[in-house]
């Protein structure tokens, strides 16, 4: 790596190599997300997106394979309305990857549940994602 470049910001000396490292990290993240988006789109019969893959992943990690819909925006880094649209799109595709059930204690709330079909699809996609990430293993070390 080239010698450090120093600059001043608000009277403090800063090492620009950290900024350069940050931009490199961001570039790699964007490239990895594009790679995963392509992998998931090609491998899923349902034409899933990366965010939909994340949704299936978080549901799979949850107790009883379900989460309250109001808990999903924080996990997915999406707005509540974006999560609602995503769930509605998956339901409209009739792909049976997830189901919705009402909360017993609060009829206004609903749980989003990963189905057995969703678990099977997720396992297949996780393997494909692992293989894609392996091609960039040096970036992840």
Any idea where the domains of the chain sit in the sequence?
A: 6-136
63: Cβ–Cβ under 8 A, 6 or more apart, which residues? none
What are 71's two structure tokens? 């808990």
pLDDT (tens digit per residue) in 42-77:
999 999 999 999 999 999 999 999 999 999 999 999
What pLDDT score does 1 carry?
A: 42
Contact, 58 vs 76, CB < 8 A? yes
User: Residues in the chain with pLDDT < 50?
Assistant: 1-5
Distance CA 141, CA 131 (A): 15
Class of domain 6-136: mainly alpha
pTM: 0.82
What pLDDT score does 12 carry?
A: 62
Residue (of 117, 104, 106, 119) closest to 62 by Cα position: 119
Cα dist from 112 to 116, 121, 139, whole Å: 13, 16, 34
């Amino acid at each position: 790596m080239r010698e450090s470049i120093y600059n001043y910001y608000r009277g403090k000396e800063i090492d620009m190599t950290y900024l350069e490292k940050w931009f490199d990290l961001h570039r790699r993240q964007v490239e990895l997300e594009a790679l995963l988006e392509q992998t998931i789109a090609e491998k899923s019969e349902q034409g899933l997106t990366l965010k939909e893959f994340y949704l299936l992943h978080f549901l799979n990690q949850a107790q009883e394979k379900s989460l309250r819909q109001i808990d999903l925006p924080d996990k997915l880094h999406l707005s509540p309305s974006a999560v609602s649209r995503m769930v509605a799109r998956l339901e409209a595709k009739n792909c049976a990857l997830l189901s919705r059930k009402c909360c017993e204690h609060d009829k206004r709330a609903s749980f989003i549940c990963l189905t057995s079909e969703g678990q099977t699809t997720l396992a297949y996609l996780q393997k494909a994602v692992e293989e894609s990430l392996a091609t960039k293993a040096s970036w992840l070390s």
